[in-house]
Amino acid sequence: AAKRLEGKTILVTGASSGIGKSTTFEFARTAPKNNLKLIITARRIDTLKEVASQIDAETNGGVKVLPVQLDVSNPTEVKNFIPNLPEEWRDIHVLVNNAGLVRGLAKAPEIAEEDINIMFNTNVTGLINMTQAILPIFKARGTEGGSGDIINIGSIAGREPYAGGSIYCATKAAVRSFTDSLRKELVATRIRVMEVDPGQVETEFSVVRFYGDKEKADAVYAGVDPLTPDDIAEVVVFVATRRENVVVADTLIFPSHQA
């Protein structure tokens, strides 16, 4: 696996916590001495800087990490993102579209407009805009219509909608549909479009869902044994390190109690 990451540049969105942060560490641990470069993005730049220095310490400087503040729901920031990168960081090989959130759980007629917009602008439009920003780099590489990996983090919610989660579920169904269309558009190129769909994972996700109410968030996982962010990170790194003609198109991963 380490050899397949040799000299690559990997971009992870939403790397300041949870699945994105674990994925960043997992890539670094998989290829600590392979000239790997990691671009990590989120809104909380201080947290990203901490992740960067931890990886620097863990790999003795073997993995280079560039923390960049980026709100994926802001189209202007996304548009300027690649042009603003230092030139030696622009040759990106893997995009992990992980940034996402759920806000509030309410019956459809009661969902606040602000929450609807934040979820769609981040989970759907943000992911699409990031993909559009990266594709010219992928398409310009090699002779077979391009190469590179797009790994979208969807959710079990995109496959099995639940009452009270209509907007979040709709955003993740949209991710799923977009991912499938894009894969078909890029057929026979070396650009792999893949999706990893987690079930219940204990992260800051629930705290965000309940607008920062930690007690309510903890209640979500009370009495159950959820996945850890590392469980998902291992799968993301697995799909990114298959032989280049192997597309692990779609992976659903959940804790055994959730089947």
Residue 252 in the binding site for ligand NDP (CB under 6 A) = no
Catalytic residue among 33, 37, 172, 184: 172
How many residues of this chain bind ligand NDP (CB under 6 A)? 31
| Residues 138, 147: Cα–Cα separation, whole Å | 5
Residue 152 in the binding site for ligand NDP (CB under 6 A) = no
Residue 253 in the binding site for ligand NDP (CB under 6 A) = no
Token pair in block for residue 245: 């003609």
Residue 153 in the binding site for ligand NDP (CB under 6 A) = yes
21 carries an active-site annotation: no
64 carries an active-site annotation: no
Distances (CA, A) of 253 to 1, 10, 43: 21, 22, 27
Our CA angle for 159, 163, 166, nearest 5°, is: 65
* Interface region with ligand NDP, contact rule CB under 6 A, candidates 26-34, 99-107, 187-195, 210-218: 99-107
Residue 94 in the binding site for ligand NDP (CB under 6 A) = no
Among 50, 58, 71, 180, binds ligand NDP (CB under 6 A): 71
Residue 105 in the binding site for ligand NDP (CB under 6 A) = no
Element (H, E) at 58: helix 45-58
N- to C-terminal Cα separation, the chain: 30
Distances (CA, A) of 2 to 36, 63, 91, 152, 164: 9, 12, 19, 21, 42
Among 31, 68, 72, 78, binds ligand NDP (CB under 6 A): 72
Residues 66, 38: contact at Cβ < 8 Å? yes
Residue whose entry in the numeric block shows the structure tokens 């959940």: 254
Among 205, 233, 240, 241, binds ligand NDP (CB under 6 A): 205
Catalytic residue among 79, 162, 168, 214: 168
If one counts every other C-beta atom within 10 angstroms of the C-beta of residue 122, the result is 22
Nearer to ligand NDP, 69 or 147 (CB): 69
**Which residue numbers are catalytic?**
168, 172
